[in-house]
Amino acid sequence: MSSATNYASIQGNKPIPLSSCARSFYDMILQHLASRRLQSNSIYWHKSLIFPFVADNLGPQVVYCPPDQNITATKMRTVVTWNTPRFKDNSNSPLMMTCSHQSGTEFYWGTWNVHCTAYDNNPNNKPAVCQFRLTVKRK
């Protein structure tokens, strides 16, 4: 075998060239295994193994984003909650989601912009962004 990124052993020990798409997928598996301190030559492809593969060339999409909220509060600080934003992706990989503020947090009087962003495993894809505004007013 000349290079782990160019060949995979699928039928016995006979090396079979990989297409560029499969090579990227194979490289991703090698990177994943390397992060877990395993050797790349511990991967053996077998003709009975079927890997569902979707080319992840699309970024995540927003499924649900909470609406803007106007809250009237008697105290300077009040707890504000909202439903969790939801995202989807064309791959079956879990999404990483970060939010600038968390539901159930205390907010002071004023206007707050909340941004929640979802990323998939492909760093070339644009993330999905959910934005909404909280306005906490004095009663």
Domain 61-138 CATH (choose: 2.60.40.10, 3.40.605.10, 1.10.10.1100, 3.30.530.20)? 2.60.40.10
Tell me the CB-side half-sphere exposure of residue 49, using CA atoms within 13 A.
9
pLDDT in tens, 68-102: 999 999 999 999 999 999 999 988 788 999 999 99
pLDDT above 80 (res 8):
no
For residue 23, the model assigns a pLDDT of 54
If you ran DSSP here, which 8-state letter would residue 7 be given?
E
Average pLDDT estimate for 10-21: 46
Question: What percentage of the chain has pLDDT greater than the value 90?
Answer: 50
**Among residues 59, 67, 81, which one has the least CA distance to residue 130?**
67
